[in-house]
């Protein structure tokens, strides 16, 4: 996974050694809590293999998903950087292998590597763009559009370089991500399937046309 992580290129041997000796990886079953909202942030979190969501609950018990993160993604750099408590739960959506890069190593890389700094700036900038896009979608598009854009956002090639076209995600989870009910998501998926943008399978969705999803407006 390290070899395929873009932030590794440009690091020297000392930096690579320190990463290898401090990075920890663990496997989790589906629906496991990897990190809890409110916990002190002691590591940068990477998805070696699997699918996770960044999640929170309202006081009344409603569930919001800020973003999903497929294989190859790294999340939580903002909170590591700010040394703040974790702002959301991290939960696995299917069996997943998760990597933890300790905060100390993260900050040391920031202090010693120009290319690592550039990577983090790019990543933060991309996230900002994605958040702005989310607000636009949220305010302007119909539920069909929200579902289309939520799916497309999982294929951001800057944030998620290794994303596979078949997503093992339930329609209910997609609802948490898109901000719509399960039934409405089901309806939207049939519209998108008719447009040949996705293929709906049992417990999974295959994305056929990412650009088409991104451009879907209604």
- In the complex, the residues that contact DNA under the rule CB under 7 A are 62, 142-143, 170-172, 179-184, 186, 189, 200, 202-204
Taking the complex as a whole, the smallest distance from the CB of residue 203 to DNA amounts, in Å, to 4
Taking the complex as a whole, the smallest distance from the CB of residue 173 to DNA amounts, in Å, to 7
In this complex, which beta carbon is closest to DNA, that of residue 154 or of residue 159?
A: 154
Taking the complex as a whole, the smallest distance from the CB of residue 200 to DNA amounts, in Å, to 6
DSSP state for residue 193 in the 8-state scheme: H
In this complex, which beta carbon is closest to DNA, that of residue 12 or of residue 218?
A: 218
Tokens 């989870």 label which residue?
173
In this complex, which beta carbon is closest to DNA, that of residue 20 or of residue 202?
A: 202
In this complex, which beta carbon is closest to DNA, that of residue 68 or of residue 179?
A: 179
Taking the complex as a whole, the smallest distance from the CB of residue 121 to DNA amounts, in Å, to 36
The CA-atom distances, in angstroms, between 12 and each of 9, 88, 113, 180 are 9, 33, 9, 46
In this complex, which beta carbon is closest to DNA, that of residue 11 or of residue 188?
A: 188
Taking the complex as a whole, the smallest distance from the CB of residue 146 to DNA amounts, in Å, to 9
Residues 6+ apart with CB under 8 A from 146: 137, 138, 178, 179, 180, 188
- Is the distance from CB of 150 to CB of 176 less than 8 angstroms? no
Residues 6+ apart with CB under 8 A from 132: none
Residues 6+ apart with CB under 8 A from 24: 43, 99, 100, 102
């Amino acid at each position: 996974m390290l070899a395929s992580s873009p932030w590794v290129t440009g690091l020297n041997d000392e930096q690579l050694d320190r990463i290898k000796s401090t990075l920890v990886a663990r496997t989790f079953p589906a629906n496991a809590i990897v990190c809890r909202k409110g916990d002190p942030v002691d590591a940068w979190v990477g998805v070696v293999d699997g699918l996770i969501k960044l999640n929170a609950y309202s006081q009344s018990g409603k569930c919001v998903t800020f973003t999903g993160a497929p294989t190859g993604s790294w999340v939580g750099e903002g909170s590591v950087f700010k040394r703040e408590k974790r702002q959301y739960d991290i939960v696995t959506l299917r069996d997943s292998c998760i990597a933890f890069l300790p905060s100390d190593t993260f900050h040391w890389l920031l202090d010693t590597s120009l290319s690592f700094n550039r990577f983090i700036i790019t990543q933060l900038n991309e996230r900002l763009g994605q958040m702005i896009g989310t607000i636009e979608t949220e305010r302007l598009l119909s539920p069909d559009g929200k579902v289309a854009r939520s799916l497309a956002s999982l294929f951001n090639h800057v944030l998620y370089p290794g994303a596979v076209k078949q997503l093992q995600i339930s329609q209910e989870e997609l609802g948490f991500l898109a901000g719509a009910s399960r039934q409405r998501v089901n309806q939207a998926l049939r519209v998108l399937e008719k447009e040949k943008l996705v293929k709906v399978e049992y417990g999974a969705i295959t994305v056929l046309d990412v650009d088409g999803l991104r451009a879907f407006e209604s």
